[in-house]
Structure 1
Amino acid sequence: MGRGKVELKRIENPTRRQVTFSKRRNGLLKKAFELSILCDAEVSLIVFSPTGKFYQFASHESVVLLPPMMERTIARYRSEAGLSGPNDHSHTRSLEFWRREIEELQKTINETEAKLRHCIGEDIEMLGMKELKQLERQLKAGVERVRSKKLRIAAEHVNWLKGKDD
């Protein structure tokens, strides 16, 4: 008795989709390994999960040499497919772009962490009068929002208790 055909469409349930991805990824890695051994084929496999996690396989004995093996396979693919070769500067430009992006994001993280520390009263020694007044206004507005939410919840609870007594 054989397996039934599976309709090829996106799995909507995220949990089922992740389980299916994991199982099929493992099967794909196993098949790549078997193909490289049985047929003495040069096999490289690159997989990115839906969450962006990176998986790789290269048919080379040394685990230490996996990245160079991948680079060699990719260079060979580019050559066979007629794509731009290793002298293409797009990789360098892309690397520079991501370095700048990382620097900007790190700067944003540092600024956000500093604001958070200010909100809990830490690292405020270097703030001037203008910044302290702005921080005070922001904190007062935040406290007012918290009080308002507490009053709404208390009123809802009182109404629920009144309805329960009726």
Structure 2
Amino acid sequence: MTRKKIQIKKIDNISSRQVTFSKRRKGLFKKAQELSTLCDADVALLVFSATNKLFEYASSSIQQVIERRNGCSENHISMDHPSTDQFQVESESSQTLRKKLEDKSRELRQMNGEDLQELTVQELQKLEAQLRRTLSSVSKRKDEMFMQGINALKRKEVELIQENQRLKHVVPDLIIGQRQQSLESVISGSSYFLEDDGSDTSLKLGLTLHN
């Protein structure tokens, strides 16, 4: 037999409502105790009946749990709803950053020769001096890079000269070695032919005497 599902709505019968309240309250407190024991949770329950009677359960102390709850609420409020002072500080900081960005953008345009109409003579002279310093720094860096390239080429030239000198000593030795090897090959070949001619002569003489 299946258990009939109870419709969740207010019980009109007062006596049935009180019985259900008593049973459900005990079950709720039991579940709270199990949750506290099994999960090491700090639990507090406050229940007021329809007759305004208070029932409470706490794993430690109702007062401690309430104070802990209030402390968490204040932290959440401060995080979710920043104070007016905090808004003001953030707004001022945002305005300062925006102004700096606008100033830097305007300076960059002026250095590119734009937006010069509103500048005074003194401001134009200041901009001119700044551009000269910038140009001087660029030219200096360019000259440094040129010198670095020239020095690298000079070092490469010295290395090539040293390698050329080394090859001048190595190549003659190789040529002499090849000549000696060729001469030895010629001498050994000549000796081989001389030995073959002597053996042929002795064979011919033997045949002549036999006749």
* TM-score, normalisation: structure 1: 0.49
User: Which structure's relative contact order is higher, taking Cα pairs within 8 Å and 6+ residues apart?
Assistant: 1
The answer to which structure has the higher helix fraction is 2
